[in-house]
Structure 1
């Protein structure tokens, strides 16, 4: 069984090794090239590593408002963290909580969590990885991704994992000038039979000056080269990026996938009931960046 113990941690050299072993029993070692590693073993989120998004942010017609609260961003231990597989975990949790108002005066029925490493941990090239467990439900939109520190899309976006509620696949993508929004640089990964997003998986990207290798559990699922990017627009990936983890609800991408308009854009009534019953949780075992 996996134990998040620094004596057993071995990840830097295994991140591209491939195979189901990566998801089922991962030993990780903090290497000299480790830039960032968080196992969420503290009783609260480490604010020296992470920023928590507040209410002054809203995009993509998402149906939640992000708040900085221990109700939406917190850590858990033992069985709540995944049982025998995981000892500690970060939780991003959505709640039904009507009448939250954002900075634009919009009224929201849901609150949720989003964190980032902006200005605390920035990196250019290397491997970024996270071990995550996602909830079942149409219209959930959790993501693990990276942004540049300047204007979007000029400073680039790397979508390491996006999920919109169909449990058999996740998406990866790049966005930049000339290839943002409906980007052509996108791919779906369909899990092998017997696996889905509700299992623990490692989502990672290897980023070099020449391109990107996206992986799930070490399996290469998509390769993008610099010439492929420059076919559509300017290469926006020689600048520092920061990591983001979030749990969005409904909005543009889920709606494009499921076509649901009521009761909320991209978010069906069945998932609203899951949220009300407390099941809207993303679990994160660890996050790693290597140089």
Structure 2
């Protein structure tokens, strides 16, 4: 990964600086963090997913390349460097025999490097105004899905006024009621910097945006559908998917790609569509 300037994204993301966080849990014990201030991605903290991975009929192949995954600097509103994840349009490159995706993109995760049970995970993120994309910040258990649980702290599918949160596990993956949409207040949307977080406790999870609790899931709510799978370690994931099940379910677009309209393809070709992550932090549970 190479460190680069962010001039290519200034036109899309603007120059307006915003507060670094709505809530600074300074009294908490910080157990893990990446501020993305190194010249390259810290491979001691993150692994990078490759082309073999494919789920949800997503329309991209993940690769380990600076074109889709880099550390950038000079971005207004960011505290130092930032992680940039973005899709690129590269037909004919994907080696997967069945998928043959025309898009390449980036996904990093802390599996086998860092995981945790209970506490607060948060990331400061800025996203693009474009339909049919699927950037996300989430936690996943180390075993077979969905048996070891999934915590979706933030999912965005291209409608800039809201993000989604969810829990998945045995008996409650997919379309169970353990999901929620957060609609931003007037004058805000996903293109601004926001802190997305989960407070993970022994019997409940609180999903937050900029320090405001937007959804609470309790053990009894989960056990109405299946076994509670949130007492085991989980690792961090940041990714930028294109199209697939969730965007398609939201917009109903079939062509030119599942969940992805032509206008988004055209914007991807400009190189300015990206998910930017200022930092990721994990705190110990409150005492």
TM-score by length of 1: 0.88
Structure 2: segments with no counterpart, 5+ residues: 1-17
The separation in 1 between residues aligned to 2:37 and 2:114, in whole angstroms, is 19
Q: Secondary structure at the match of 1:257?
A: helix
Q: Does 1:167 align with 2:163?
A: no
Q: Secondary structure at the match of 2:229?
A: coil
The separation in 2 between residues aligned to 1:168 and 1:48, in whole angstroms, is 35
Residues 126 and 32 of structure 1: is their aligned pair in 2 closer, same or farther, counting only changes over 3 Å? closer
How far off its partner does 1:93 sit? 1.2
**Counterpart selection for 1:87 from 72, 77, 80:** 80
1:55-70 aligned at under 5 Å gives the runs 55-70=51-66
Structure 1: segments with no counterpart, 5+ residues: 1-22
Residues 84 and 220 of structure 1: is their aligned pair in 2 closer, same or farther, counting only changes over 3 Å? closer
**Counterpart selection for 1:288 from 271, 281, 284:** 281
2:3 corresponds to: none
TM-score by length of 2: 0.89
Residues 31 and 52 of structure 1: is their aligned pair in 2 closer, same or farther, counting only changes over 3 Å? farther
2:115 corresponds to: 122
Q: Secondary structure at the match of 1:167?
A: coil
The separation in 2 between residues aligned to 1:167 and 1:227, in whole angstroms, is 32
The answer to whether the Cα contact below 8 Å between 1:57 and 1:102 also exists between their aligned partners in 2 is no
**Counterpart selection for 1:74 from 42, 47, 70:** 70
How far off its partner does 1:106 sit? 2.5
Q: Does 1:49 align with 2:45?
A: yes
Residues 83 and 109 of structure 1: is their aligned pair in 2 closer, same or farther, counting only changes over 3 Å? same
Cα deviation, 1:154-197, whole Å, max 9, x if unaligned, reads 00000000000000000000000000011320000000000000
Alignment length, in residue pairs? 266
**Higher mean Cα deviation, 180-189 or 31-40?**
31-40
Q: Does 1:230 align with 2:223?
A: yes
How far off its partner does 1:254 sit? 0.1
Q: Does 1:269 align with 2:262?
A: yes
1:35 corresponds to: 31
1:114-193 aligned at under 5 Å gives the runs 114-193=107-186
The separation in 1 between residues aligned to 2:96 and 2:233, in whole angstroms, is 28
Which runs of 4 or more aligned residues in structure 1 lie more than 6 Å from their structure 2 counterparts after TM superposition? 29-32
Cα deviation, 1:46-93, whole Å, max 9, x if unaligned, reads 000000011110000000000011111110111xxx315432100001
1:17 corresponds to: none
Q: Secondary structure at the match of 1:141?
A: strand
1:202 corresponds to: 195
**Higher mean Cα deviation, 165-174 or 87-96?**
87-96
Taking only aligned residues, the RMSD between alpha carbons, in angstroms, comes to 1.5
1:24 corresponds to: 19
Residues 54 and 32 of structure 1: is their aligned pair in 2 closer, same or farther, counting only changes over 3 Å? same
Q: Secondary structure at the match of 1:253?
A: helix
The separation in 2 between residues aligned to 1:104 and 1:208, in whole angstroms, is 43
How far off its partner does 1:24 sit? 1.9
The separation in 2 between residues aligned to 1:200 and 1:224, in whole angstroms, is 25
The separation in 2 between residues aligned to 1:65 and 1:85, in whole angstroms, is 28
Q: Secondary structure at the match of 1:83?
A: coil
